[in-house]
Amino acid sequence: PAVEEPCDTAPSSPLWATDDPMGPADRMEATLRPFSLVIPFTVQKGEIRGEVRMPSGRTAHPHITDNKDGTVTVKYSPTERGLHEMDIRYDGNHIPGSPLQFYVDAINSGHVTAFGPGLSHGLVNTPAIFTITTKDAGEGGLSLAVEGPSKAEISCKDNKDGTCTVSYLPTAPGDYNIIVKFDDQNIAGSPFMAKVTGEDFTRMSQLSVGTATDVSLKIMETDLSSLTATIRAPSGLEEPCLLKKLPNRHI
């Protein structure tokens, strides 16, 4: 399902100014926008690591912080413009939502840009938020669309400062395409792709000792007899899990 929404924003003001001095070097060297994202994930005794693949093919490592509250913060200072891909692995395995993509552009690019966590990652039934900057972009209409496994209602708030805050609400897990157009043309990086994970992953990270839960996974294998599943406790002990087919073909 796709939802498209026009976004009314105030035209850019020619009187916009900053208190910071701007010299020739500032005009010549564009500052790339840093990437930052908070992901629900509980770190136990294993190792969590990330790797970023740049448009040139080079790789780098983001800074990942365990917030000790069932989430981790991922930060990366880019050195290249364009589409990046990031792996986040725990004990060698991808965490929910990995790999993810993000597009890097200059902070003051002179054209319409979009940035924020909602362009890379989201949670089911939780608003995914990002920002669009239209400063110094000239005249033109802004339109938004979200395509994915579920209909996602979109809201757009004009911040009256050359930016607008966009929120969409995904109600099913999966990959969502966020299409941002200015003057009927895709902006740089559009369509963006956000990985939305299910509520089960959040709930699973907050279980109490002695409780049980069901976790729905989209797995292509239809023969349950060929699959096994275990859960590894912090002590290292592995316990078997019961597998069953669900009406939506998940397991």
| Residue 215 covered by a domain | no
Using DSSP's 3-state secondary structure scheme, residue 247 falls into coil
Please tell me the predicted confidence (pLDDT) of residue 29. Answer: 47
Residue 115 neighbours by CB under 8 Å, 6+ apart: 33, 105, 130, 131, 133
Q: What CATH number does the domain containing 186 carry?
A: 2.60.40.10
Using DSSP's 3-state secondary structure scheme, residue 180 falls into strand
| Residue 100 covered by a domain | yes
| Residue 63 covered by a domain | yes
> How many angstroms separate the CA atoms of 19 and 10, rounded?
22
| Residue 229 covered by a domain | no
Residue 249 neighbours by CB under 8 Å, 6+ apart: none
Torsion angle defined by CA atoms of residues 203, 122, 163 and 178, in that order, rounded to the nearest 10 degrees: -160
Q: What total of structural domains would you count in the chain? A: 1
Query: Per the confidence metrics, is the pTM higher than 0.85?
Result: no
| Residue 217 covered by a domain | no
Over the range 208-237, which residues count as b (16 or more CB within 10 Å of their CB) and which as e? eeeeeeeeeeeeeeeeeeeeeeeeeeeeee
Q: Averaged in consecutive runs of 10 residues, what is the pLDDT profile of the chain (251 residues)? A: 57 38 45 93 89 97 94 95 95 91 90 94 94 83 92 92 93 94 93 85 50 65 76 74 74 78
| Residue 29 covered by a domain | yes
Over the range 48-85, which residues count as b (16 or more CB within 10 Å of their CB) and which as e? bebebbbeeeeebebebeeeeeebbebebebeebebbe
* Range(s) of the domain holding residue 66: 2-199
> How many angstroms separate the CA atoms of 77 and 106, rounded?
12
Over the range 92-115, which residues count as b (16 or more CB within 10 Å of their CB) and which as e? eeebbbbebbbbbbeebbeebbbb
| Residue 251 covered by a domain | no
* Bridging pattern class, strands 128-133 and 163-169: antiparallel
Quick: pLDDT tens for 10-26: 443 333 333 444 444 44
| Residue 208 covered by a domain | no
Please tell me the predicted confidence (pLDDT) of residue 239. Answer: 79
Quick: pLDDT tens for 64-76: 999 999 899 999 9
